Structure 1
Protein backbone atom coordinates (compact mmCIF):
# COMPACT_ATOMS: atom_id res chain seq x y z
CA UNK A 1 0.00 0.00 0.00
CA UNK A 2 2.83 2.39 0.89
CA UNK A 3 4.53 1.74 -2.48
CA UNK A 4 1.33 2.67 -4.34
CA UNK A 5 1.21 6.00 -2.51
CA UNK A 6 4.87 6.67 -3.38
CA UNK A 7 4.25 5.86 -7.04
CA UNK A 8 1.21 8.12 -7.16
CA UNK A 9 3.19 10.96 -5.57
CA UNK A 10 6.07 10.50 -8.03
CA UNK A 11 3.73 10.53 -11.02
CA UNK A 12 1.93 13.59 -9.68
CA UNK A 13 5.19 15.45 -9.22
CA UNK A 14 6.40 14.47 -12.70
CA UNK A 15 3.25 15.69 -14.39
CA UNK A 16 3.32 18.97 -12.46
CA UNK A 17 6.80 19.85 -13.76
CA UNK A 18 6.83 22.64 -16.37
CA UNK A 19 7.64 21.68 -19.94
CA UNK A 20 11.16 22.59 -20.97
CA UNK A 21 10.41 22.91 -24.68
CA UNK A 22 9.53 26.27 -26.20
CA UNK A 23 8.59 24.81 -29.58
CA UNK A 24 5.43 23.01 -30.59
CA UNK A 25 5.08 21.06 -33.81
CA UNK A 26 1.75 20.85 -35.66
CA UNK A 27 1.10 18.56 -38.62
CA UNK A 28 -1.62 18.10 -41.22
CA UNK A 29 -2.41 15.76 -44.09
CA UNK A 30 -3.72 17.71 -47.07
CA UNK A 31 -6.38 16.41 -49.46
CA UNK A 32 -9.43 17.49 -51.43
CA UNK A 33 -11.88 15.62 -49.21
CA UNK A 34 -10.94 17.95 -46.33
CA UNK A 35 -11.92 21.15 -48.17
CA UNK A 36 -15.00 23.11 -47.03
CA UNK A 37 -16.68 21.86 -50.20
CA UNK A 38 -15.03 18.45 -50.60
CA UNK A 39 -13.60 17.79 -54.05
CA UNK A 40 -12.17 14.83 -55.96
CA UNK A 41 -8.71 16.34 -56.41
CA UNK A 42 -5.99 13.74 -56.99
CA UNK A 43 -3.66 16.06 -55.06
CA UNK A 44 -2.14 15.16 -51.71
CA UNK A 45 0.24 16.87 -49.36
CA UNK A 46 1.60 17.31 -45.88
CA UNK A 47 2.28 20.33 -43.72
CA UNK A 48 4.48 20.70 -40.66
CA UNK A 49 4.41 23.94 -38.70
CA UNK A 50 6.90 24.50 -35.87
CA UNK A 51 6.07 27.41 -33.57
CA UNK A 52 8.60 28.82 -31.11
CA UNK A 53 6.66 30.69 -28.44
CA UNK A 54 9.77 32.42 -27.05
CA UNK A 55 11.42 33.55 -30.29
CA UNK A 56 8.02 34.16 -31.96
CA UNK A 57 8.98 32.24 -35.08
CA UNK A 58 7.02 29.83 -37.24
CA UNK A 59 8.73 27.36 -39.55
CA UNK A 60 6.46 26.11 -42.33
CA UNK A 61 7.40 22.92 -44.15
CA UNK A 62 5.18 21.42 -46.83
CA UNK A 63 5.21 18.97 -49.70
CA UNK A 64 2.47 18.44 -52.25
CA UNK A 65 1.91 16.47 -55.45
CA UNK A 66 -0.72 15.61 -58.04
CA UNK A 67 -2.66 18.88 -57.96
CA UNK A 68 -5.29 19.26 -60.70
CA UNK A 69 -4.15 22.83 -61.40
CA UNK A 70 -1.16 25.04 -60.82
CA UNK A 71 -1.09 26.40 -57.27
CA UNK A 72 -1.98 30.05 -56.85
CA UNK A 73 -1.74 30.47 -53.08
CA UNK A 74 -0.86 28.65 -49.87
CA UNK A 75 -1.40 29.92 -46.34
CA UNK A 76 -2.90 29.11 -42.95
CA UNK A 77 -6.48 30.02 -42.07
CA UNK A 78 -7.57 30.71 -38.48
CA UNK A 79 -9.78 30.10 -36.62
CA UNK A 80 -12.92 28.03 -37.21
CA UNK A 81 -15.71 27.86 -34.65
CA UNK A 82 -15.33 24.09 -34.26
CA UNK A 83 -12.15 21.97 -34.43
CA UNK A 84 -11.57 20.10 -37.72
CA UNK A 85 -14.48 21.69 -39.56
CA UNK A 86 -15.67 24.93 -41.13
CA UNK A 87 -13.96 27.86 -42.78
CA UNK A 88 -12.03 30.86 -41.51
CA UNK A 89 -10.14 33.83 -42.90
CA UNK A 90 -6.47 33.79 -43.82
CA UNK A 91 -4.21 34.48 -40.84
CA UNK A 92 -0.77 34.35 -42.44
CA UNK A 93 0.76 36.45 -45.19
CA UNK A 94 -1.39 36.97 -48.29
CA UNK A 95 -1.86 36.10 -51.02
CA UNK A 96 0.63 33.29 -50.38
CA UNK A 97 3.58 32.27 -48.22
CA UNK A 98 6.82 34.04 -49.07
CA UNK A 99 8.64 32.00 -51.71
CA UNK A 100 5.97 29.30 -52.05
CA UNK A 101 6.45 27.66 -55.49
CA UNK A 102 3.67 29.12 -57.64
CA UNK A 103 2.05 27.66 -60.73
CA UNK A 104 3.22 24.13 -59.97
CA UNK A 105 1.30 20.91 -59.35
CA UNK A 106 3.95 19.45 -57.04
CA UNK A 107 6.77 20.73 -54.89
CA UNK A 108 8.24 21.32 -51.46
CA UNK A 109 8.51 24.34 -49.23
CA UNK A 110 10.52 25.31 -46.13
CA UNK A 111 10.56 28.81 -44.69
CA UNK A 112 10.83 30.32 -41.20
CA UNK A 113 8.77 33.42 -40.46
CA UNK A 114 9.41 36.06 -37.80
CA UNK A 115 5.91 36.42 -36.35
CA UNK A 116 6.82 39.78 -34.77
CA UNK A 117 6.88 41.24 -38.31
CA UNK A 118 3.60 42.50 -39.75
CA UNK A 119 4.66 41.07 -43.14
CA UNK A 120 4.24 37.53 -41.74
CA UNK A 121 0.53 38.13 -41.23
CA UNK A 122 -2.60 39.03 -43.14
CA UNK A 123 -3.08 42.68 -42.13
CA UNK A 124 -6.79 42.18 -41.38
CA UNK A 125 -5.92 39.33 -38.99
CA UNK A 126 -3.68 41.70 -37.00
CA UNK A 127 -6.40 44.36 -36.94
CA UNK A 128 -9.02 41.86 -35.75
CA UNK A 129 -6.83 40.73 -32.84
CA UNK A 130 -5.80 43.86 -30.99
CA UNK A 131 -3.96 45.64 -33.79
CA UNK A 132 -0.58 44.14 -32.84
CA UNK A 133 1.46 41.18 -34.01
CA UNK A 134 1.61 40.02 -30.38
CA UNK A 135 -2.20 39.88 -30.21
CA UNK A 136 -2.35 38.08 -33.56
CA UNK A 137 0.30 35.59 -32.43
CA UNK A 138 -1.50 34.82 -29.15
CA UNK A 139 -4.84 34.23 -30.89
CA UNK A 140 -3.20 32.17 -33.64
CA UNK A 141 -1.31 30.00 -31.13
CA UNK A 142 -4.50 29.23 -29.20
CA UNK A 143 -6.20 28.34 -32.49
CA UNK A 144 -3.39 25.94 -33.35
CA UNK A 145 -3.71 24.31 -29.92
CA UNK A 146 -7.49 24.04 -30.32
CA UNK A 147 -7.35 22.38 -33.77
CA UNK A 148 -9.17 25.29 -35.45
CA UNK A 149 -6.47 26.29 -37.96
CA UNK A 150 -5.85 24.72 -41.32
CA UNK A 151 -3.23 24.75 -44.07
CA UNK A 152 -4.73 25.37 -47.51
CA UNK A 153 -3.37 25.24 -51.07
CA UNK A 154 -5.43 27.03 -53.72
CA UNK A 155 -5.06 26.27 -57.45
CA UNK A 156 -6.33 27.33 -60.86
CA UNK A 157 -8.56 24.23 -60.89
CA UNK A 158 -9.94 24.94 -57.38
CA UNK A 159 -9.60 28.69 -56.63
CA UNK A 160 -11.38 28.29 -53.26
CA UNK A 161 -8.89 25.62 -52.19
CA UNK A 162 -7.82 22.30 -53.73
CA UNK A 163 -6.26 20.55 -50.73
CA UNK A 164 -6.27 21.40 -47.06
CA UNK A 165 -5.78 19.85 -43.64
CA UNK A 166 -6.32 20.92 -40.05
CA UNK A 167 -3.14 21.31 -38.01
CA UNK A 168 -2.75 19.27 -34.81
CA UNK A 169 0.02 19.26 -32.23
CA UNK A 170 2.42 16.34 -32.14
CA UNK A 171 2.92 15.10 -28.55
CA UNK A 172 6.37 15.89 -27.16
CA UNK A 173 8.73 12.94 -26.59
CA UNK A 174 8.61 13.71 -22.86
CA UNK A 175 4.87 13.04 -22.88
CA UNK A 176 5.40 9.58 -24.37
CA UNK A 177 8.21 8.86 -21.90
CA UNK A 178 6.02 9.87 -18.97
CA UNK A 179 3.19 7.66 -20.23
CA UNK A 180 5.57 4.69 -20.54
CA UNK A 181 6.94 5.29 -17.04
CA UNK A 182 3.37 5.44 -15.70
CA UNK A 183 2.43 2.20 -17.45
CA UNK A 184 5.57 0.52 -16.14
CA UNK A 185 4.83 1.60 -12.58
CA UNK A 186 1.24 0.37 -12.84
CA UNK A 187 2.51 -3.00 -14.07
CA UNK A 188 5.13 -3.17 -11.32
CA UNK A 189 2.50 -2.34 -8.66
CA UNK A 190 0.17 -5.03 -10.02
CA UNK A 191 2.93 -7.66 -9.99
CA UNK A 192 3.86 -6.76 -6.38
CA UNK A 193 0.24 -7.11 -5.28
CA UNK A 194 0.06 -10.58 -6.81
CA UNK A 195 3.13 -11.67 -4.84
CA UNK A 196 1.83 -10.40 -1.52
Structure 2
Protein backbone atom coordinates (compact mmCIF):
# COMPACT_ATOMS: atom_id res chain seq x y z
CA UNK A 1 0.00 0.00 0.00
CA UNK A 2 2.94 2.33 0.70
CA UNK A 3 3.92 2.00 -2.94
CA UNK A 4 0.46 3.14 -4.05
CA UNK A 5 0.59 6.20 -1.79
CA UNK A 6 4.15 6.98 -2.92
CA UNK A 7 3.10 6.69 -6.55
CA UNK A 8 0.17 9.04 -6.01
CA UNK A 9 2.36 11.57 -4.19
CA UNK A 10 4.87 11.40 -7.04
CA UNK A 11 2.09 11.83 -9.61
CA UNK A 12 0.69 14.91 -7.86
CA UNK A 13 4.20 16.38 -7.52
CA UNK A 14 4.81 15.86 -11.23
CA UNK A 15 1.42 17.39 -12.00
CA UNK A 16 2.30 20.51 -10.03
CA UNK A 17 5.47 20.99 -12.05
CA UNK A 18 4.12 19.87 -15.42
CA UNK A 19 2.85 21.73 -18.46
CA UNK A 20 -0.66 20.99 -17.18
CA UNK A 21 -0.01 23.97 -14.94
CA UNK A 22 0.74 26.20 -17.87
CA UNK A 23 -0.24 29.72 -16.95
CA UNK A 24 -1.84 32.51 -18.86
CA UNK A 25 -1.08 36.12 -18.04
CA UNK A 26 -3.54 38.85 -18.95
CA UNK A 27 -2.68 42.45 -19.69
CA UNK A 28 -4.79 45.55 -20.27
CA UNK A 29 -4.11 48.60 -22.34
CA UNK A 30 -6.30 51.67 -21.79
CA UNK A 31 -5.76 53.65 -24.98
CA UNK A 32 -6.55 57.35 -25.41
CA UNK A 33 -5.43 60.42 -27.33
CA UNK A 34 -3.82 62.13 -24.31
CA UNK A 35 -1.67 59.00 -23.84
CA UNK A 36 -0.23 59.31 -27.35
CA UNK A 37 3.20 60.77 -28.01
CA UNK A 38 2.70 63.62 -28.73
CA UNK A 39 -0.62 63.82 -26.86
CA UNK A 40 -3.77 64.81 -28.74
CA UNK A 41 -7.39 65.58 -27.83
CA UNK A 42 -8.97 62.67 -29.70
CA UNK A 43 -12.15 61.31 -28.06
CA UNK A 44 -11.09 57.85 -29.29
CA UNK A 45 -10.74 55.12 -26.69
CA UNK A 46 -10.01 51.44 -26.23
CA UNK A 47 -9.67 49.01 -23.35
CA UNK A 48 -7.69 46.24 -25.02
CA UNK A 49 -6.90 42.85 -23.51
CA UNK A 50 -3.83 40.76 -24.32
CA UNK A 51 -3.50 37.18 -23.03
CA UNK A 52 -0.15 35.38 -23.12
CA UNK A 53 -0.12 31.57 -22.88
CA UNK A 54 3.33 30.40 -21.77
CA UNK A 55 2.78 26.77 -22.82
CA UNK A 56 1.38 27.39 -26.30
CA UNK A 57 3.61 30.47 -26.76
CA UNK A 58 0.67 32.45 -28.08
CA UNK A 59 -0.63 35.95 -27.54
CA UNK A 60 -4.33 36.68 -27.98
CA UNK A 61 -5.27 40.28 -28.76
CA UNK A 62 -8.76 41.66 -28.24
CA UNK A 63 -8.84 45.33 -29.22
CA UNK A 64 -12.25 47.04 -29.25
CA UNK A 65 -12.02 50.72 -30.20
CA UNK A 66 -14.44 53.60 -30.66
CA UNK A 67 -14.82 57.29 -31.49
CA UNK A 68 -11.68 57.81 -33.56
CA UNK A 69 -11.87 61.19 -35.27
CA UNK A 70 -10.93 59.66 -38.62
CA UNK A 71 -10.68 56.28 -40.31
CA UNK A 72 -8.19 53.81 -38.85
CA UNK A 73 -5.13 52.94 -40.92
CA UNK A 74 -3.05 50.46 -38.91
CA UNK A 75 -2.27 49.32 -35.36
CA UNK A 76 0.81 47.93 -33.63
CA UNK A 77 2.26 46.49 -30.46
CA UNK A 78 5.40 48.55 -29.74
CA UNK A 79 8.39 47.56 -27.62
CA UNK A 80 10.42 48.55 -25.75
CA UNK A 81 10.58 52.09 -24.36
CA UNK A 82 13.66 53.14 -22.36
CA UNK A 83 11.51 53.64 -19.23
CA UNK A 84 8.28 52.19 -17.87
CA UNK A 85 5.04 53.87 -18.97
CA UNK A 86 6.77 56.63 -20.92
CA UNK A 87 8.52 57.23 -24.23
CA UNK A 88 8.27 55.66 -27.65
CA UNK A 89 9.49 52.42 -29.20
CA UNK A 90 9.46 50.75 -32.62
CA UNK A 91 6.70 48.35 -33.64
CA UNK A 92 7.29 44.77 -32.51
CA UNK A 93 4.11 43.21 -33.93
CA UNK A 94 2.16 44.87 -36.72
CA UNK A 95 -1.53 44.11 -37.10
CA UNK A 96 -1.57 43.88 -40.90
CA UNK A 97 -5.20 42.73 -40.93
CA UNK A 98 -6.46 45.46 -38.60
CA UNK A 99 -9.78 46.96 -39.80
CA UNK A 100 -9.09 50.11 -41.80
CA UNK A 101 -11.18 53.14 -42.68
CA UNK A 102 -13.40 52.82 -39.59
CA UNK A 103 -13.79 54.90 -36.43
CA UNK A 104 -15.26 52.13 -34.28
CA UNK A 105 -14.51 48.42 -34.46
CA UNK A 106 -13.05 45.29 -32.93
CA UNK A 107 -9.80 43.48 -33.69
CA UNK A 108 -9.24 39.96 -32.39
CA UNK A 109 -6.38 37.67 -33.35
CA UNK A 110 -4.23 34.92 -31.89
CA UNK A 111 -0.51 35.23 -32.70
CA UNK A 112 2.14 32.54 -32.29
CA UNK A 113 5.25 33.96 -30.61
CA UNK A 114 7.17 30.99 -32.04
CA UNK A 115 6.49 32.15 -35.62
CA UNK A 116 9.06 34.60 -37.06
CA UNK A 117 6.33 36.08 -39.27
CA UNK A 118 4.57 37.39 -36.17
CA UNK A 119 7.27 39.99 -35.58
CA UNK A 120 8.05 43.11 -37.57
CA UNK A 121 11.17 42.34 -39.68
CA UNK A 122 13.17 45.21 -38.13
CA UNK A 123 12.28 44.07 -34.60
CA UNK A 124 13.33 40.50 -35.38
CA UNK A 125 16.58 41.67 -37.00
CA UNK A 126 17.39 43.91 -34.02
CA UNK A 127 17.42 40.79 -31.84
CA UNK A 128 19.77 38.65 -33.86
CA UNK A 129 17.10 37.44 -36.24
CA UNK A 130 16.02 34.71 -33.83
CA UNK A 131 12.50 34.16 -32.58
CA UNK A 132 13.72 33.13 -29.12
CA UNK A 133 15.65 36.37 -28.58
CA UNK A 134 12.86 38.54 -30.00
CA UNK A 135 10.23 36.81 -27.84
CA UNK A 136 12.34 37.08 -24.68
CA UNK A 137 12.96 40.79 -25.27
CA UNK A 138 9.27 41.42 -26.00
CA UNK A 139 8.01 39.57 -22.91
CA UNK A 140 10.54 41.29 -20.68
CA UNK A 141 9.46 44.66 -22.07
CA UNK A 142 5.76 43.88 -21.59
CA UNK A 143 6.33 42.76 -18.01
CA UNK A 144 8.36 45.91 -17.34
CA UNK A 145 5.55 48.17 -18.66
CA UNK A 146 7.71 49.23 -21.60
CA UNK A 147 5.32 48.09 -24.32
CA UNK A 148 2.21 49.75 -25.69
CA UNK A 149 -0.57 49.34 -28.22
CA UNK A 150 -1.59 52.15 -30.54
CA UNK A 151 -4.01 52.76 -33.36
CA UNK A 152 -3.21 55.14 -36.22
CA UNK A 153 -5.72 57.07 -38.30
CA UNK A 154 -5.72 59.35 -41.33
CA UNK A 155 -6.06 62.37 -39.01
CA UNK A 156 -3.22 61.16 -36.77
CA UNK A 157 -0.86 59.12 -38.95
CA UNK A 158 1.71 58.86 -36.12
CA UNK A 159 -0.95 57.42 -33.79
CA UNK A 160 -4.35 58.59 -32.58
CA UNK A 161 -4.70 56.56 -29.38
CA UNK A 162 -2.29 54.46 -27.35
CA UNK A 163 -1.89 52.75 -23.97
CA UNK A 164 0.82 50.80 -22.16
CA UNK A 165 0.25 47.13 -21.33
CA UNK A 166 -0.15 46.44 -17.60
CA UNK A 167 -0.48 42.95 -16.10
CA UNK A 168 -3.84 42.24 -14.48
CA UNK A 169 -2.82 39.50 -12.04
CA UNK A 170 -0.41 36.69 -11.32
CA UNK A 171 -0.59 33.66 -13.62
CA UNK A 172 -3.40 31.28 -12.67
CA UNK A 173 -3.37 27.54 -13.41
CA UNK A 174 -5.98 26.23 -15.83
CA UNK A 175 -9.23 24.91 -14.21
CA UNK A 176 -8.52 21.43 -15.57
CA UNK A 177 -5.24 21.43 -13.64
CA UNK A 178 -7.07 22.17 -10.40
CA UNK A 179 -9.46 19.29 -11.15
CA UNK A 180 -6.60 16.85 -11.73
CA UNK A 181 -4.89 18.04 -8.55
CA UNK A 182 -8.11 17.53 -6.56
CA UNK A 183 -8.53 14.01 -7.92
CA UNK A 184 -4.92 13.18 -7.07
CA UNK A 185 -5.24 14.52 -3.52
CA UNK A 186 -8.53 12.64 -3.05
CA UNK A 187 -6.79 9.45 -4.21
CA UNK A 188 -4.00 9.96 -1.68
CA UNK A 189 -6.54 10.52 1.09
CA UNK A 190 -8.50 7.40 0.08
CA UNK A 191 -5.37 5.23 0.07
CA UNK A 192 -4.20 6.62 3.41
CA UNK A 193 -7.62 5.97 4.99
CA UNK A 194 -7.72 2.43 3.58
CA UNK A 195 -4.22 1.78 4.95
CA UNK A 196 -5.24 2.90 8.45
CA UNK A 197 -8.32 0.65 8.34
CA UNK A 198 -6.23 -2.40 7.36
TM-score, normalised by the number of residues in structure 2: 0.74
Would you say 1:39 and 2:40 are equivalent positions? yes
Q: Quick check: which has more Rg, 1 or 2?
A: 2
Question: What RMSD, in angstroms, separates the aligned Cα atoms of the two structures?
Answer: 1.9
| Larger relative contact order, structure 1 or 2 (CA cutoff 8 Å, min sep 6) | 2
Would you say 1:23 and 2:24 are equivalent positions? yes
Separation of aligned partners in 1, 2:92 and 2:168: 21
Give SS of 1:144's match. Answer: helix
Asked if the contact 2:71/2:103 (under 8 Å) is kept, the reply is: yes
Separation of aligned partners in 2, 1:117 and 1:161: 26
Alignment partner, residue 186 of structure 1: none
Separation of aligned partners in 1, 2:105 and 2:130: 33
- Say if 1:60 and 1:36 are closer, same or farther in 2 by CA, change over 3 A: same
Q: Give runs of ≥4 in structure 1 deviating > 3 Å.
A: 17-21
Give SS of 2:91's match. Answer: coil
Alignment partner, residue 160 of structure 1: 158
Separation of aligned partners in 1, 2:17 and 2:166: 21
Give SS of 1:45's match. Answer: strand
Gap regions ≥5 residues in structure 2: 1-15, 173-198
Number of residues of Structure 1 aligned to a counterpart in Structure 2: 156
Separation of aligned partners in 2, 1:67 and 1:111: 21
Give SS of 1:143's match. Answer: helix
TM-score, normalised by the number of residues in structure 1: 0.75
What is the CA distance between 1:21 and its match in structure 2?
Answer: 4.3
Separation of aligned partners in 2, 1:36 and 1:50: 25
Would you say 1:107 and 2:111 are equivalent positions? no
Alignment partner, residue 87 of structure 1: 88
What is the CA distance between 1:55 and its match in structure 2?
Answer: 1.4
